[in-house]
Structure formats: structure tokens, C-alpha cells
Structure 1
Amino acid sequence: MNPAIDLSTSVDAVAPTRKMRCDDVHRDPGGGGINVARVLRRLGADALAIYLAGGAAGKLLERLVEREAITGLVIDGRHETRENFTVFERESGEQYRFVLPGPQVDEAVLQDTLSAIGGLETGGFLVASGSLPAGVPARFYADVARIASSRELKLVLDSSGAALREGLLGTPFLIKPNLRELGELAGGTLAGEEAARGAAAKLVEEGRVEMVALTLGADGALLA
């Protein structure tokens, strides 16, 4: 629901006020769902990306998605698609990431998106990934989960905060929280791997989700 054009470049060093001469800019299609589709295509799997696009930037996003050999189902977002900007600093090896807010999403666009999901073929997996832009209620992913269930689609939900909590009301197939996000669902800070395992298992036992893929950063991941 919040795709973007990801621009990236590099400079020798980042400094305030002065002009910094950048290398050539590289443009990629971005956003949680689109990035999932990109990885699936590179692994040799078919993927359909459902995403919003609007304005001149939206047309460019469509071309970038096509360049990745991804089949797209484009929803008219009615507002200009956002851009994000990443700068790599050679001197330090650090990366600076500037993330712009997404455009306001109207109710009509929400309904168009839900209708598109409702028209998908039955069976398979549906991945809902990323942040929700302004105008999209937290319950949106719960609505997506219910439609997915009616189409016999297994919903994989990768979100956070209220969107993740509300999404659980639709009983998705799998969620992918990190330790902090799982702690929020469990109602407190999780101290250690055993506490995390227990919290993930409890979500499954309560029937709120079928599987939990808990990401632990450099320490890997757990599947419950």
C-alpha cells in the first residue's frame, strides 16, 4: 500500500551546508510487497505485485517493475507515488536513508485494492508487507486477511504496530515480527530467546495465527 521509487547514490563524505557531488543515481522499484516479488522472481518463482501508482513517478514505478519481469496489477493511487533516497558515504562506509511519507490514500482506492484482492485466483499465498500510508485504517490488513481466507489464500503478514495487531484479527497464516514487535503483541518486553519462543507459541496456541517467523537480526530467526 505504500510503494516507492528507491533512489540510491554515493558520495565521498556527507557534510552539512556544502554541495556534495554525487555519483550516478540508481533507481529501483521499492516497497514491502514489490521487494518480496523481486526476490521471488530472482529465485525463479512467479509473482504478481498488486500496488498503488500515481502521477509521473507512478508511471516510472510501473516501468521499473516491468524491468524486473514482475507481473503487476496496478491500482490508480490518484496521488503522486513517493520516492526514497539513500546515500552511501565512502569515507565511513555508512549509509544514510531518507524515507518520505506516502501520499494520502482515499477510501475509493482502498476499495479498489480490496476488490483486486477479491478477484485473485484461489489457492496459493498472498503477502501483505510494509507500512500503511495516511488514510489507511489499521484494520486494513484484517480486511485483507478475511478476503484472503475466502479465496483460500494463505496470508503472510509483515507489518508492525496497530496494523499488525489489527491484522491478527483476521487470523493470517503467518506473521513475521521482530523481537520488539512480538513483545508488543505479548504485552511486554521479552527477555531472552525462551520468552520469545513462548510468546510466539502462545499466539499459535490461541489460534490467532498458524505460524510465527520471528526475526532476530544477526542472531537469525525462529519459527513457531
Structure 2
Amino acid sequence: MTLNAPTILTLLRIALIPVLVLFFYLPYGWSNFAAVTVFVLAAVTDWADGYIARRFDLYTHFGAFLDPVADKLMVATALVLLVQSQPTVLFALAAATIIGREIVISALREWMAEMGERGRVKVSNVGKLKTIFQMVAISFLLYGEDIWRIPVPFIGEILLYLAAALTLWSMWVYLHSAWPVMAAATGSGPVEADKEEGRPES
């Protein structure tokens, strides 16, 4: 496997995950700023690897697989850390909604790809908006302190709840798009296929 620039940036994003955890737990006044810096740097590499891959035609199947994995790992790690620092029911539900949606949509995309219908679950505008709210919210919450009189943590929490709402909306959009294929596939499991081909049931 040959590593190109976009793939290296994606691997760097994964390598930054333990660094984020380390800075989050360091007992220093600057550790929150360092954690935000790591998270924002990861977000920049996410944009950069996609831009470089498109601009210089460096698309690879491995890179296409690894890029969303790196994004989800970074976001899930950040949310788990934040839930620990703010263990309320509403906050935990918002984080669980965002992480759960990522698992569901990843599984849906894999299944749709196997069905030859991956184009039905391509990234939507709602999904892009959700990502923006989500990344800004996590950045504000990781910083966790007011700036002058601006209530950064409060704004971050509100943005996270909005991101969770957009998460549910975007998941409905994806599931609605995929429903015709899912409905058509109902009842065509392995047992039915064995019957059609004349093989005995296992």
C-alpha cells in the first residue's frame, strides 16, 4: 500500500486522538486551549486531505475508507470526554444520539454499497450543516471557559443540542432515501435464497 499525502493526513488525525485525551486530562490552565487546538487541527486536516485528494486526483479506496473512520473516532472520543466532565442526562443523550447516528449511517452505507445503491446515501446538506454545528460545539465545550463576557461553554452546549437535533433529521433523510431498497430487500434473506435455489434449509 502506497501512502499519499491525503492518507498521511488522515493517519495524523487518528494519531492526534490520544494527544487530545492527554491534554484534556492535564491539570494545567492551558490544557483546555491545547485540547481545542488539537481538535481544530484535526478538523483542518479533514478538510485538507479531501481538498488535496480532489485537487491532485489522489483518491484511493483505502483513503475513502479511512477518512470517515478517523472523523468518527475523533468526534466520539471528544464527546465521551465531554460527557465525563458534564454528566447530565440531557448532555449524555445528545452525545449518545450523535455517536449512535454515526454507527447507524455507517452500517447503512456499507449495506447499501453491497446492494449497489450507495449513491442513495451520499452526504446531504443537512448532514453537512450537522457537522458544522457539531464541530463548533465540541470546540467551544473543550475550551470550557468564558471569553470576556461571552458564555462559550453555554453556547457550545446549545449548539450541541442543535447538532443532535440535526443528527436525527439527517438520519431520517438517509433512511428515507434508502427505504425503497430496504423494503425491496425485505424477505430475501439467506433462507429464502436457499429455497429459491433448491437447496435444503440449514
- TM interval, shorter chain, is under 0.3
Compare CA radii of gyration and give the structure with the larger one: 2
Whose strand fraction is larger, Structure 1's or Structure 2's? 1
TM-score normalised to structure 2 length = 0.22
TM-score normalised to structure 1 length = 0.21
Whose helix fraction is larger, Structure 1's or Structure 2's? 2
- Pick 1 or 2: higher relative contact order, CA cutoff 8 A, min separation 6: 2
